[in-house]
Amino acid sequence: MAVRDILICGDPVLKRKAAPADPTDPELKTIVKDMFDTMYENRGVGLAAPQIGLSISLFVINHDWNRDEGKEKDGVEEVFINPKLLKAYGKDEGYEEGCLSVPEIHEKVQRKDTIDIEYTDLKGKKHTETGVTGLRARVFQHEYDHLHGILFIDRLSPVKKMFVKKELKRIIEEME
């Protein structure tokens, strides 16, 4: 088990657009394993490679593991390599999000509730899925944003964003 350090908001890697990942790279298996370890250790439901300092197009999700009872590794582990958000549609939905790179902040973010996606898994198999909904669609969009240098706080209204940034500055200073 290798838990890696998570980059915190303000690090330039989190603002960068991630480069395509090579699904045949044998190193990827170790990275993915470490990403799940890191995600579970920090009680997250998703983690993108840039959050551990790797600017490559890869994220992992386990959106329904039982975080409260600490029964790690239940739920379904999913690996998304070079994912594409083909279409976001349906109705706008507000849902309270947090992020392991944005300590202590939780805010309601508006996103579409249905998506069509494309990605490659760790075995190199390509998938296309339409009509993805629920928490899985929510987490996918949050992690997908990470690959484009976008944090959930960037999606808040300008006033809310200003407030949150001030709050965040204080929180990060206290952590140091």
* DSSP symbols for 21-85: P-TT-THHHHHHHHHHHHHHHTT-SEEEGGGGT--BSEEEE-TTSBTTTTBTT-S--EEEEEEEE
We find the least distance from the C-beta atom of residue 146 to Co ion, in angstroms, to be 6
We find the least distance from the C-beta atom of residue 99 to Co ion, in angstroms, to be 3
We find the least distance from the C-beta atom of residue 51 to Co ion, in angstroms, to be 7
**Would residue 143 show up in a list of annotated catalytic residues for this protein?**
yes
Task: Find the binder of Co ion among 54, 79, 81, 99 (CB under 5 A).
Answer: 99
The one segment of 23-31, 80-88, 96-104, 106-114 that binds Co ion by CB under 5 A: 96-104
Identify which of residues 23 and 143 has a Cβ nearer to Co ion in the complex: 143
The answer to the question of residue 60 lying near Co ion (CB under 5 A) is no
Residues 114-173 that bind Co ion (CB under 5 A): none
Active-site residue list:
143
Residues that bind Co ion (CB under 5 A): 99
